[in-house]
Amino acid sequence: MRIDVLTLFPQYFESPLGCSIVKRAQDEGIIEIVLTDIRDFTKDSYRKVDDKPYGGGPGMVMMPGPVFDCFEHVQRLCPDQGRAIMLSPQGQPFNQQKAVELSRENRLILIAGRYEGFDERIRDGLGAEQISIGDYVLNGGEPAVLVVIDAIVRLLPGALGDEDSAKDDSFSNGLLEYPQYTRPEVFRGMKVPDILLSGDHGKIEKWRREQSLERTKKIRPDLLDTELG
């Protein structure tokens, strides 16, 4: 899989993409992540990427020119046109189902905005879908890009050391994950549930399913309306 990221701050990504699972997935050729600086596509000596909103109002708006030129350049880097996504608080909510869907693509082009937002012609003209990572406003789309990449990478075959790890994640079956324990058996008086020490895999599986359901009912009852299985 190839992910292109269009951003005004390529340096923002250096550390998070350079460690842990995402780094290993890149080192092993499971994913290629290519950062492109939108500012490199400005045509004036100030390298201007934003301007005041028509009609007045606070803040600055991202100009269409550099974003279009950058996008068209990036599209040409690879024969697969890819699926274009703008990160925006006005997008569709990002969730596990969306992560699974995106993890099946060969190429994504993620566009991170800054300032008060994108000139509307960027939305209209690029034919990109919009994704939001939650109902709050970030200073820019960069953290949202990282969230999307992180959630996708762990779903790619071979990215996790243990192939089964993502299968039991919270939300992978529409529920929150069951409680997990490791050694020691007793920690500060708190004991690991006996059933997990019983060796009875049938019973353990049943217990885990019950725990998942109970936890979901208590913390996220909204998820039960859309449970996948």
Active site residue 116: yes
Active site residue 89: yes
Decide: is 33 part of the binding site for ligand ADE (CB under 6 A): no
Backbone angles phi, psi at 50, to 5 degrees: -140, 160
Active site residue 208: no
What does the H/E/C string look like for 26-82? HHCCCCEEEEEEHHHHCCCCCCCCEECCCCCCCCCEECHHHHHHHHHHHHHCCCCCC
Q: Determine the interface stretch with ligand ADE among 23-31, 121-129, 135-143, 176-184 (rule: CB under 6 A).
A: 135-143
Contact pick of 1, 61, 122, 138 for ligand ADE (by CB under 6 A): 138
Q: Determine the interface stretch with ligand ADE among 128-136, 185-193, 195-203, 221-229 (rule: CB under 6 A).
A: 128-136
Q: How far is the CB of 162 from ligand ADE (least distance, A)?
A: 30
| Structure token digits, residue 3 | 């992910």
Q: How far is the CB of 132 from ligand ADE (least distance, A)?
A: 4
Integer angstrom CA distances of residue 12 from 88, 142, 150 = 18, 7, 15
Contact pick of 11, 45, 57, 136 for ligand ADE (by CB under 6 A): 136
From CA 188, how far away is CA 86, in angstroms rounded? 48
Q: How far is the CB of 149 from ligand ADE (least distance, A)?
A: 13
Contact pick of 63, 74, 87, 146 for ligand ADE (by CB under 6 A): 87
| Structure token digits, residue 167 | 């299968």
Nearer to ligand ADE, 66 or 141 (CB): 141
Q: How far is the CB of 95 from ligand ADE (least distance, A)?
A: 12
Sequence-distant (≥ 6) Cβ neighbours of residue 102 within 8 angstroms? 83, 85, 108, 148, 152
Question: 142-171 mask for ligand ADE (x: CB under 6 A)?
Answer: --x---------------------------
Ranges within 46-65 binding ligand ADE (CB under 6 A): none
From CA 27, how far away is CA 25, in angstroms rounded? 6
Phi-psi region of 89 (alpha: psi -120 to 50; beta: other; left: phi over 0): alpha
Q: Determine the interface stretch with ligand ADE among 58-66, 138-146, 165-173, 203-211 (rule: CB under 6 A).
A: 138-146
Alpha helices per DSSP H over 119-200: 120-126, 142-153
Q: Which residues bind ligand ADE (CB under 6 A)?
A: 87-89, 132-134, 136-138, 141, 144
